[in-house]
Chain A
Amino acid sequence: MKDFVRIIPKQGFEEWPTKLGKIGNLYNRAEYEMLKKGFRAAATYHIDYQYLIEGMDKIKKDGLIYTPLRKSGYYQGFAHFHHSVNPGEPFFWYGALTKTEKDAEIFKEADRIGDHKTIGKMLGYPECCTDYFTRIFPINYDPIWVDLEGEVEGYPEANQMLRYFGVRITSHLSCSPTCKGTKKIGKVWFKVMKGIDENLANELYDLLSIPITWNSYHGVVQVETPYFVGLTHTFPYLKKPRIIYWKGRKSKE
């Protein structure tokens, strides 16, 4: 199945596709700021080959270092994998942003040998979540709490069920909906987001807090919120849908 993302607003909520675009941009900026402000040692970063010069200028101006790691093909919407690039096709540079040359070298080497533990640590991921990802991703490339189904409560910071549409607070996939480490680092991310656009950050938080339904089946995940239905391609559950009814939990303390 081809990559795709679709957002279908409900009647009366026509503005949501545009709003989701803004929320996605807020998250992107927060990713960058989390490194710039020193809350983590590295960030991964994509630069469109057409905007390499502008991208590098900004990085240099911000006192950061960019280490290209590989090319990644264009994709529509959301990608679970880096797409291969054929000669002549457009692509992104995928690489590491760091504050020091030393960190750049460490990240590059960790990437080369597949040392996810080091990579996760540099990106500021909780250790438990890095372990979970390393263990589960080879089996299921959309690892939303693979042992859970039905009604689930947890922290909005850990809710990655809307990430396909740009809606997330943290950059890692949480190991559980109540992961304390995710909650802790999520608070930092949320503070950074509020520093960029407080109203939008609050909307993002609210969206991750309210009840939603995540329904994955036959290679398509369908997420229903009170405002829109989002669809994207995913890991194919063949026999029956895996459904999570997110009850959410307000915990913006």
Chain B
Amino acid sequence: MLLVKPFLGCNLACKYCYEGNYRRKHNPKMDYNLDLVLKRMEEFKDLEMSLHGGECLAMPKKDVEKFLAKMFELTKKSGIQTNGTLIDEEYIEMFKKYKTDVGISFDGPGVLSEYRGPLTFNLDKTIERLVREGISTSIIMVISKSNAGTDERLKKLKEYLLELDKLKISGRINPCVDAPAYELGEKRLIEVYLDLAEFCFKNNLRWSPFTDIIHGLQGKPRVCIFMGCDFFSTASATVIVGDGSITNCMRTNKENILLRHPVKYNTREEILAETPQEFFGCQGCKYFTACYGGCPTAAINNDWRNRTYLCSLWKALFQYYENILRFVEYPSILLPVQETCFSQDSEHLDHEDSSPVTEHGDAHGDIPHGDSSSPVPVTEHGDVHGDIPHGDSSSPVPVTEHGDVHGDIPHGDSHGDLPHSDQ
């Protein structure tokens, strides 16, 4: 997916925002090079596109329209991810005109959105309005203390999910990460997600990550966090920023922006497959080929070479759905079935058996990206369609003659590293 992020500033100050560090350091201005960004979008016309931010609707309307129009010109539709607070009549008309899929970031009505601020409290009305207008709408919810910290708030959240179902709206329910003051503790997080999983199951609500976890067990395309992500070449998110640079998923850019490496490497999967779980790897985990260690931007100790710190949550959910799939005798669950099952009550994880690392798909952008709440396109048979594949050829980083090979090879002194005897 192509995420167009010309302006990284925002009219809100959500407490857990993953762009917060960048914003505090750079105080983004509206100094984007509109023509250059539009031009660069043409390089990615095979990808699904979404206008992102910061808050993209904080840009002048005429600029927003140019971006949406360009997407429409290139892909016959357009997309946007917004906090929704600036949506007005003119934008609604614009969305209709350019067949815009509107993704709203919203944690639920009223106090459920406490960490996003009072401007967001009544967004449910805006969402209803979008639906009434026939605009394709979806939601990214962040699960935090504000909407799931107490049973009472969680109950309200579930009630709202049912309201959304009446509007035929779904999307993603992402855990709040990298914001310890606002995220749920591990025990509560697992409790909440298992509760939501059951709730969605009973009410036939299709939200990510639940659908993605099932797809992981089935070996189907799924959200990027379970597909094996290269921190330096995020396959599911190609990002254009205001100066026309191409970078990765903004979650990988904390205080500075790294340009996108043109080639996806499987280094993280290789590391995690070989590293024992006690040292933050995934060796022996039966869910490895369904999860690949989770999102590297939510890695233990903030080091992409470790598995995600949400591991216990994902394992609990994989276990939950594995049980269901086994109960209904689903024919092909992609797990080494003889391994010891993970138990929530057990502190002892299965460290002993090594899990075969299968070659998974090449992940060329076929992966729905977790930052986009484009409606999870569920077909009749329940499959999630992947995004449009992107090529690695349109890289911003010039691949020089030497590529990344720095000329170590045909010269002398062996870098001083090699023992001068036979190996």
B254-276 toward A: CB 8 Å interface, digit per residue (1/0)? 00111101000101001100111
CA distance A227 to B109 in the complex (A): 44
| CB atoms of B416 and A173 under 8 A apart | yes
Cβ of A200 < 8 Å from any Cβ of B? Answer: no
Partner of B416, one of A5, A84, A172: A172
| CB atoms of B413 and A11 under 8 A apart | no
| CB atoms of B305 and A220 under 8 A apart | yes
| CB atoms of B406 and A46 under 8 A apart | no
CA distance A75 to B414 in the complex (A): 13
| CB atoms of A17 and B271 under 8 A apart | no
CB contacts (< 8 Å) of B409 on chain A: these are 46, 48, 74-75, 79, 92
| CB atoms of A78 and B408 under 8 A apart | yes
CB contacts (< 8 Å) of B257 on chain A: these are 10-11
Cβ of B397 < 8 Å from any Cβ of A? Answer: yes
How many of chain B's residues touch chain A, expressed as a range? 35 or more
| CB atoms of A44 and B420 under 8 A apart | yes
Partner of A20, one of B245, B265, B274, B406: B406
Partner of A28, one of B274, B411, B414: B411
| CB atoms of A11 and B241 under 8 A apart | yes
| CB atoms of B303 and A217 under 8 A apart | yes
Given A70-B422, A218-B271, verify A97-B412 contact (CB < 8 Å). Answer: yes
CB proximity of A38 to chain B, nearest CB, Å? 16
CB contacts (< 8 Å) of A80 on chain B: these are 417-418
Cβ of A102 < 8 Å from any Cβ of B? Answer: no
Q: How many residues of A contact B (CB 8 A)?
A: 76
Partner of A44, one of B245, B259, B265, B413: B413
Cβ of B421 < 8 Å from any Cβ of A? Answer: yes
Q: Residue on A with the closest CB to B272?
A: A218
Cβ of B331 < 8 Å from any Cβ of A? Answer: no
| CB atoms of A11 and B258 under 8 A apart | yes
Of residues A21, A125, A172, which shows the largest number of chain B Cβ atoms within 10 Å of its Cβ? Answer: A21
| CB atoms of B411 and A77 under 8 A apart | no
| CB atoms of A6 and B419 under 8 A apart | no
CB proximity of A182 to chain B, nearest CB, Å? 11
| CB atoms of A171 and B415 under 8 A apart | yes
Partner of A5, one of B396, B406, B418: B406
Partner of A218, one of B243, B259, B305, B421: B305
Cβ of A223 < 8 Å from any Cβ of B? Answer: no
| CB atoms of A165 and B406 under 8 A apart | yes
Partner of B418, one of A82, A113, A164, A217: A82
CA distance A47 to B412 in the complex (A): 9
CA distance A142 to B413 in the complex (A): 15
CA distance A241 to B421 in the complex (A): 30
| CB atoms of B397 and A14 under 8 A apart | yes
CB contacts (< 8 Å) of B416 on chain A: these are 125, 133, 160, 170-173
CB proximity of B395 to chain A, nearest CB, Å? 11
Residues from 135 to 161 in B contacting A, C-beta threshold 8 Å: none
CA distance A87 to B306 in the complex (A): 38
Cβ of B404 < 8 Å from any Cβ of A? Answer: yes
CA distance A4 to B232 in the complex (A): 14
CB proximity of B411 to chain A, nearest CB, Å? 4
A56-86 toward B: CB 8 Å interface, digit per residue (1/0)? 0000000000000010001111111110100
Residues from 265 to 291 in B contacting A, C-beta threshold 8 Å: 265, 267, 270-271, 274-276, 279, 281
| CB atoms of B412 and A218 under 8 A apart | no
Partner of A239, one of B256, B259, B279, B400: B279
Q: Residue on A with the closest CB to B247?
A: A11
| CB atoms of B413 and A43 under 8 A apart | yes
| CB atoms of A45 and B271 under 8 A apart | no
| CB atoms of A220 and B413 under 8 A apart | no
4 shortest interchain CB distances as A-B pairs: A166-B406, A114-B421, A171-B413, A24-B407
Instruction: Please list the residues of chain B having a beta carbon within 8 angstroms of any beta carbon in chain A.
Output: 232, 241, 243, 245, 247, 256-259, 261, 265, 267, 270-271, 274-276, 279, 281, 303, 305-306, 396-398, 400-402, 404-423
Given contacts A14-B259, A113-B421, 20 further A-B contacts (CB under 8 A): A8-B258, A10-B258, A11-B257, A21-B400, A21-B402, A31-B413, A32-B411, A44-B413, A46-B410, A78-B406, A82-B414, A92-B410, A112-B421, A116-B420, A123-B413, A165-B406, A171-B415, A220-B267, A220-B305, A231-B267
Instruction: Please list the residues of chain A having a beta carbon within 8 angstroms of any beta carbon in chain B.
Output: 1-2, 4-12, 14, 17-18, 20-21, 24-25, 27-28, 31-32, 43-48, 51, 70, 74-82, 84, 92, 94, 97, 110-114, 116, 119, 123, 125, 133, 137-138, 141-142, 160, 163-166, 168, 170-173, 217-220, 229, 231, 238-239, 241
20 CB contacts below 8 A, A to B, read A1-B274, A7-B406, A8-B261, A11-B257, A24-B406, A43-B413, A45-B411, A46-B412, A46-B414, A76-B405, A79-B409, A79-B417, A94-B414, A97-B412, A116-B421, A119-B420, A163-B417, A166-B406, A217-B303, A218-B306
